[in-house]
């Protein structure tokens, strides 16, 4: 599928309608419209408390054109697990005939942190659902507090001098549950995101997609630079595109030339403190290079 075909499919399905109140430049709408267009089956969605929840479902209005429910910060995965089990019970009794897919989502605050316990339990139990984390690198819904996905050196309202810890590797944590499908994706490459969502929906059992969600408010960057910054995240290997399918790693994109991480950092005002330190920039670059080498080794990518 090329971009023209994908655009036509997304605009035809209209699973997330216009009228939501996401910030200018926010990629949430792009991400979910693309993901939900990747299956022709009916979908039931559950959203954790998050930017996506508050901007798409301000009572009494909603932008969701599919059955949708709001769960609390901590238990979107547990909620969708219960819905999936209720569906299976009713299907077994003959009350429901059609196939239904299930999707839960949250930001990194509700996925990496507060919701990790319920997600881990749902993955371990093997429920048949897709979990999407849109990783915008902070608790943006409540005012840009640091999360465990906030990058090293980044400003947040709770790390005004820059975060002192590196981000948690949520994708690898999901892989450690030995589930059938896990992927890293980025909305700058919508065809890749669509293909991964399609695989996730077709997977029997749990699947997780971790999507880079460049938030202009968090990055303190111009709203018209969201996709350019997103692309740079992958070009610098800060956010590599790869997937884990049935026990095998596959890198989906390898940059043609090495771009230093400094080029990515300087696009965002939230890194202004760390950019003053060559030692810290080198520390970040070394971390990224080592992670890229490990990923290549796991995938035998050449």
Instruction: Report the candidate in 18, 80, 74, 84 with the shortest Cα–Cα distance to residue 50.
Output: 74
Residue 61 CA to residue 178 CA, distance in Å, equals 39
Q: What is the pLDDT of residue 6?
A: 87
Coil, helix or strand at residue 145: strand
Q: What is the pLDDT of residue 267?
A: 97
Q: What is the DSSP string of 169-237?
A: -HHHHHHTTT-SEEEEE-TTSHHHHHHHHHHHHHSSS-EEEEEE---HHHHT--GGGHHHHHHHHHHTT
CA dihedral (217, 45, 181, 197) positive or negative: negative
Q: Which helix (H) or strand (E) holds 159?
A: none
Q: What does the DSSP 8-state code read for residue 79? A: H
Q: What is the pLDDT of residue 302?
A: 45
C-alpha to C-alpha distances, 150 to 86, 108, 155, 246, 301, nearest whole angstrom = 36, 9, 9, 29, 28
Q: What is the pLDDT of residue 59?
A: 85
Q: At what angle do helices 28-36 and 3-13 cross, to 10 degrees?
A: 90
Is residue 207 within 8 A of residue 180, CB to CB? The reply is yes
Residue 104 CA to residue 44 CA, distance in Å, equals 9
Bridge partners, residue 243, by sequence: 183, 250
Instruction: Report the candidate in 146, 142, 49 with the shortest Cα–Cα distance to residue 104.
Output: 49
What are the pLDDT digits (tens) for 210-241? 999 999 999 999 999 999 999 999 999 999 99
Question: With a threshold of 0.85, does the pTM exceed it?
Answer: yes
Coil, helix or strand at residue 283: helix
Residues 6+ apart with CB under 8 A from 173: 116, 120
Ranges of the chain whose pLDDT falls below 50: 302
Q: What is the pLDDT of residue 301?
A: 54
Is residue 210 within 8 A of residue 256, CB to CB? The reply is no
Domains annotated on the chain, with CATH: 3-299 (3.40.50.970)
Find the distance separating the first CA and the last CA of the chain, reported in whole Å: 25
């Amino acid at each position: 599928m090329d971009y023209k075909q994908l655009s036509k499919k997304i605009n035809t399905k209209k699973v997330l309608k216009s009228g939501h109140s996401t910030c200018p430049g926010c990629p949430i709408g792009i991400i979910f419209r693309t993901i939900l267009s990747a299956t022709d089956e009916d979908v039931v969605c559950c959203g954790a408390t998050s930017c996506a929840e508050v901007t798409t479902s301000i009572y009494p209005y909603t932008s969701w054109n599919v059955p949708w429910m709001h769960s609390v910060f901590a238990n979107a995965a547990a909620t969708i697990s219960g819905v999936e089990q209720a569906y299976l019970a009713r299907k077994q009794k003959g009350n429901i005939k059609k196939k239904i897919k299930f999707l839960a989502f949250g930001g990194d605050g509700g996925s990496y942190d507060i919701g990790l316990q319920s997600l881990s339990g749902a993955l371990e139990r093997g429920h048949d659902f897709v979990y999407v984390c849109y990783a915008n690198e902070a608790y943006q819904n409540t005012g840009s507090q640091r999360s465990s996905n906030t990058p090293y050196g980044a400003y947040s309202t709770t790390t005004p001098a820059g975060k002192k810890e590196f981000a948690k590797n949520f994708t690898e944590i999901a892989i450690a549950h030995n589930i059938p499908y896990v992927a890293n994706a980025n909305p700058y490459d919508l065809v890749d995101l669509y293909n991964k969502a399609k695989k996730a929906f077709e997977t029997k059992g749990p699947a997780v997609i971790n999507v880079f969600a460049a938030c202009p408010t968090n990055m303190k960057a111009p709203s018209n630079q969201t996709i350019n910054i997103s692309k740079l995240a992958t070009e610098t290997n800060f956010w590599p595109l790869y997937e884990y399918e049935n026990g095998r790693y596959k890198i989906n994109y390898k940059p043609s030339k090495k771009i230093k991480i400094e080029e990515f950092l300087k696009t965002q005002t939230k890194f202004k403190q760390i950019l003053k330190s060559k030692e810290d920039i080198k520390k970040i670059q070394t971390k990224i290079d080592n992670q890229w080498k490990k990923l290549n080794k796991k995938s035998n990518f050449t």
